[in-house]
Amino acid sequence: MDAVETHLPAGCEVLLLEDDAPLRKRLVARLRALGAEVSEASRLDEARRLARTITFDFALLDLHLPDGDALSLLRENAFSENTAVVVMTAFGGVREAVAAMRLGAGDYLTKPFEPDELPLALLRCRQARNSARRDQHVAAADVGAELFFGHSLAAVRAQLDTIIAAERRLGTRLPPVLVEGETGTGKTALARWLHGHGPRGRASFVAVNCAALPEQLAESELFGHERGAFTDAKQARVGLFEAADGGTLFLDEIGALSAAVQAKLLTAIEDGRIRRVGGTKEVAVDARIIAANNRPLGELVAAAAFREDLFHRLNLLRVQLPPLRERGEDVTTLARHLLAQIAARHRRRGLVISAEGARRLRAQAWPGNVRELAHELERAVIFGEGPTLDFPHLERDRDAAPAAWRNPHWRLPETGFVLDEAMKTFIDEALRETSGNVSAAARRLGVTRDFLRYRLEQSGMAPISAGE
């Protein structure tokens, strides 16, 4: 049973509702031996009072009590969503136990049972609770999600193999991995590949796009919250760190997180413990972190838009994905690989890319990288009439494309210039062209909103409007 005991959070709060005094004494001793803090009750009213004042990690409930049925506590939602409930029932009370599980209990024990059965029941209950939260965030793989290495990513593949070998030696508390690359280069696919081929391949993979999290909810999503932690927190919620316990948490576009959430994330990575919003206790978690960003985090650190200490913590194992325009002949091989998947999905088998079509694909800059290539192929599959794909419009689009914004004859002045003033000029122009819309200006400048806001604050500038 020792292997199971190690999974129980140290110092966890347990409510024990049992009117049989000798049995209660034995169970209290066993729970305390596991490191739990135990609150005892022998009646329903005592349990209700305790549940109002303490947020329990676990509740161990006898179903039949002198003053009523413990199922009433579940019907009343007396416990936090973060409380894992195990019920105890006499032999033959399986129907009642099933009713309890329909009301939210995670497991049951049939009396008589040995106190040594407790750790396994508590662990099963905790895993079921985390699984429900995890299922909300398991992203479905889309077209092009499978990682294709080819010759151009041979060095990346060797680096991933080295990381996996190190992970197999460590087993637990795996160091974070930082993946950098332009939008659409395959960072999510790489994270899934690394998880699936590593020692945690059978455990959970929880992915979250940090840029899509509203700033005021990001902390709650990642670390969870207790009931009443803020105005709309009518129910407690398990955070994604807990949902990914024992597996991998993929934080895409990590640079979009606020400074406050970055600080809490650093603590979670270093200590292996988190604290829910509105909570007072720390919860042990072993979630391996894979972080990704489409701009080098070092640049954000230099602009004071990302914490330097968190960057150094994430930068231990860094993988750089090159853009598609730098992958040479692999563009053609990748296109054929993606075409086979897309054609099968659209039931248009036998499609091929012509030699001229392959040349045009290689000549493209692909600012959207693999994602853009996949979309271009799907358009060709949908609108193409014959079995051969030539992509003639790609050449027309390239010829019609506007010239580069910078005069190719311009050179840096030998006497130098003030870079900050040049940046201020660019920002002024972007804000003027977008009527002060910070988000639109940031897109034109190729930077994040946080970076642009930082530059505005540093220079004392203010956008014309607060448009987002």
H helix intervals, 303-448: 308-314, 330-345, 355-363, 369-383, 392-400, 419-433, 438-445
Measured between alpha carbons, how far is 102 from 120 in angstroms, rounded to an integer?
20
| pLDDT (0 to 100) of residue 89 | 83
pLDDT at 1 over 50: no
Other CB atoms within 10 Å distance of the CB of residue 232: 9
Do 10-129 and 154-320 come out as alike in CATH topology?
yes
Question: What's the mean pLDDT in 263-270?
Answer: 92
Measured between alpha carbons, how far is 352 from 245 in angstroms, rounded to an integer?
44
Question: What's the mean pLDDT in 307-334?
Answer: 91
Report for 1-5, 130-134, 342-346: range of highest mean pLDDT = 342-346
pLDDT at 100 over 90: no
Q: Are strands 205-209 and 248-252 parallel, antiparallel or unpaired?
A: parallel
Quote the pTM value: 0.60
Report CA Rg, the chain.
28
pLDDT at 429 over 70: yes
pLDDT at 168 over 50: yes
Chosen CATH of 10-129 out of 3.40.50.970, 3.40.50.1450, 3.40.50.2300, 3.40.50.10470: 3.40.50.2300
Domain residue limits, the chain: 10-129, 154-320, 324-400, 419-459
- Strand order of the β-sheet with 248-252 is 205-209, 248-252, 288-293, 177-180, 317-320
Mapped onto helix, strand or coil, the DSSP state of residue 293 is strand
Q: Calculate what percentage of the chain has a pLDDT beyond 70.
A: 85
Measured between alpha carbons, how far is 368 from 185 in angstroms, rounded to an integer?
8
| pLDDT (0 to 100) of residue 307 | 94
Q: For the segment 201-221, what is each residue's pLDDT rounded down to a tens digit?
A: 888 899 999 988 887 788 888
Backbone angles phi, psi at 199, to 5 degrees: -70, -10
pLDDT band at 232 (very low <50, low <70, confident <90, very high): low
Report for 12-16, 137-141, 224-228: range of highest mean pLDDT = 12-16
pLDDT band at 95 (very low <50, low <70, confident <90, very high): confident
Fold of 419-459: Arc Repressor Mutant, subunit A (1.10.10)
Mapped onto helix, strand or coil, the DSSP state of residue 300 is helix
Q: What share of the chain is helix, strand, coil (3-state, %, to 5)?
A: 45, 15, 40
pLDDT at 366 over 50: yes
pLDDT at 67 over 50: yes
Kindly report the CATH class assigned to 154-320. alpha beta
pLDDT at 408 over 70: no
Q: Does domain 324-400 have CATH number 3.40.30.10?
A: no
